[in-house]
Structure 1
Amino acid sequence: MTDLLYQTDSYLQTFQAVVTAIDEANHAVILDRTAFYPGGGGQPYDCGTLRAGAATYPVSRAKKAGADVLHIIDANSSLPFPGDRIEGTIDWERRYKLMRTHTAMHILCGTVFRDYGALVTGGDMDPLQGRMDFEFETMHRELVEAIEAAINAEVQNARDVQVKILPRAEAFAIPDLIRTKINLLPEGIEQVRVVEIMGLDLQADGGTHVRNTSEVGRIHVTDYKSKGKINKRIYVQLDV
């Protein structure tokens, strides 16, 4: 079982670990601990490098496999050996953009829920851009402009972002913990990681975030469209 270091420290860029196994079929390395985010919840995977001695192994992506994280190595590269001690390095420029973007999506979600009571029906993101679907019957320019102004006010409010890992029963005692239309948390999870934008949003979430909303920067609503009778999509983009 891989120890997921990113769950408690999203800013960890390098880490030490031991190779516990090699997955030949996926040309991948399994470590005892990792800071690589394997993707999920709309947030894409991390990439970067592993280094063992003088050898460097490019990680093209990280991927969840049960309780482990696969570090998929470029096909034209060799693999380390079980027992090797390695240093992992995250592609920080990509990761930090995703952290800013993911927090921006929570600002959007929290603001829309607070102001309009609309639940999220879907979402996706890439570095510095994303989209989120909400249970709105109608969507028009004046509404979108009001949402854009409100979410940027929350960026300027410089709200702290905190992460906690709680027992399942304690987490689900929190009102409105699940802001999505469908509860995506598997029944077997005994501990729930929650991310709170203080005074705005509190959700079960497994991804990486910045420490303060001020780090997100300006959020631009670039487009919106109807995806169904009660399903409206908002597209956002962040400044570089």
Structure 2
Amino acid sequence: MTTELLYRDDAYRREVEATVLAAGPDGVLLDRTPFYAQAGGQPGDAGLLRWQAGETPILKAVKGPDDTVLHLPAEGAALPPVGATVTAALDWAPRHRHMRMHTALHLLCSLIPGAGVTGGQIGADRSRLDFDLAAPPTKEWLTERLNALIAEDHPVGERWISEEELDAEPGLVRTLSVQPPRGAGRIRLVRIGPEAAPVDLQPCGGTHVRSTAEIGRVEVTKLENKGKQNRRVYLVLQGE
């Protein structure tokens, strides 16, 4: 059994009808879902499953075995019967903030070229990236340049390449602690800017906005030393 990951083709799809393949204390397994399963520093989506006889709140989506997504219900919540048709609906507000944050972090990467990313975490209110870097730019410079890139309204797109193509361009991978998943034969690239001259291009399985202007204004609020060669950069969204 596998789960069709609808967010890969349309990150703005807020709900969908799906069939229940399994349901138990470990979660609800659907044949298709708009829920992003927690991975790569991006939180799993929350939301609601509704069916003819009831509904259950979903606290978080996580990865299950064999390319599936498990929707974790609230404790004691009713579970839909296997085979039932459910409406899987996202809690959209935090998901959209995660999309804006994730795209902003890609822009942050573009401003610190050549430095590997050693860790990161996406949040609805605050996010961070850790860089293998001795001396980062100032938070004021980063804030100014990020907002300039956002205001330029660069398109955000994606394409797929083979694992062999990625091996031929190892510089596309910015993360040192987590490598793109292999075994499926292809790797998803997220691009900001035009194909011919991207602002940022790197492997990513997360969800993103369609253009940088949708991010809104951001601020780099803090830089921390987390070791001799590790610098943590904190980022917040300004406004709703």
TM-score, structure 1 normalization: 0.92
Deviation, 1:164, is: 2.0
Q: Which amino acid is the alignment partner of residue 121 of structure 2?
A: D
Structure 1 residues 24-56: Cα deviation after superposition (integer angstroms, max 9, x where no partner): 242x21000011001111100101001111411
1:118 and 2:115 equivalent?
yes
Moved more, 186-195 or 156-165: 186-195
| Structure 2: segments with no counterpart, 5+ residues | none
Cross-structure match for 2:68: 68
**Matches of 1:33 and 1:173 in 2, distance apart?**
33
In structure 2, the partner of 1:231 is: 230
SS in 1 for 2:138: helix
CA distance in 2 between counterparts of 1:182 and 1:101 reads 20
Q: Are 2:55 and 2:78, in contact at CA under 8 Å, matched by a contact in 1? A: no
Q: How does 1:153-168 map to 2 (within 5 A)?
A: 153-168=148-163
CA distance in 1, matches of 2:170, 2:152: 24
Q: Secondary structure at the match of 1:138?
A: coil
CA contact (8 A) 1:111 1:200 kept: no
Q: Match for residue 134 of structure 1?
A: 131
Deviations 1:129-165 (A, max 9, x none): 11111122124xx633222211111101100000223
For the residues of structure 2 that align with 1:65 and 1:162, how far apart are their CA atoms? 27
Q: How does 1:49-198 map to 2 (within 5 A)?
A: 49-66=48-65, 67-113=67-113, 117-139=114-136, 143-174=138-169, 176-198=171-193
Offset, 1:84: 0.5
Percent of aligned pairs sharing the same letter: 39
SS in 2 for 1:6: helix
Following TM superposition, by how much is the alpha carbon of 1:170 offset from its aligned partner in structure 2, in angstroms? 3.1
Q: In structure 2, what is the equivalent of residue 34 of structure 1?
A: 33
Structure 2 vs 1, CA of residues 217 and 110 (structure 1 numbering), >3 Å: closer, same or farther? same
CA RMSD of aligned residues (A): 1.5
Letter in 2 for 1:146: W
**Cα distance per residue 1:193-226 (max 9 Å; x no partner):** 1111112111111110000000111110111111
Name the CA distance, whole Å, in 2 between partners of 1:54 and 1:94: 27
Asked whether the equivalents of residues 38 and 45 of structure 2 are also in contact (C-alpha less than 8 Å), the reply is yes
One-letter code aligned to 1:190: G
Contact conserved, 2:139 with 2:221, CA < 8 A, in 1?
A: no
Q: Which moved more, 1:8-17 or 1:127-136?
A: 127-136
Residue number in structure 2 paired with 1:2: 3
Further displaced range: 30-39 or 158-167? 158-167
CA positional deviation for 1:167: 2.6
Secondary structure in structure 1 of the residue aligned to 2:175: coil
Which SS does the other structure have where 1:56 is aligned?
Answer: strand
Q: Which stretch of structure 1 is more off in the superposition, 161-170 or 151-160?
A: 161-170
Distance 1:19 1:164 in 2: 30
- How far residue 81 of structure 1 moved from its aligned partner, in angstroms, is 1.0
Aligned-residue offset at 1:82: 1.1
Local SS of the residue matching 2:103: helix
Other structure's SS at 1:233 match: strand
SS in 1 for 2:96: helix
TM-score, normalisation: structure 2: 0.92
- Tell me how many residue pairs correspond in the alignment: 233
- One-letter identity of the residue aligned with 2:100: R
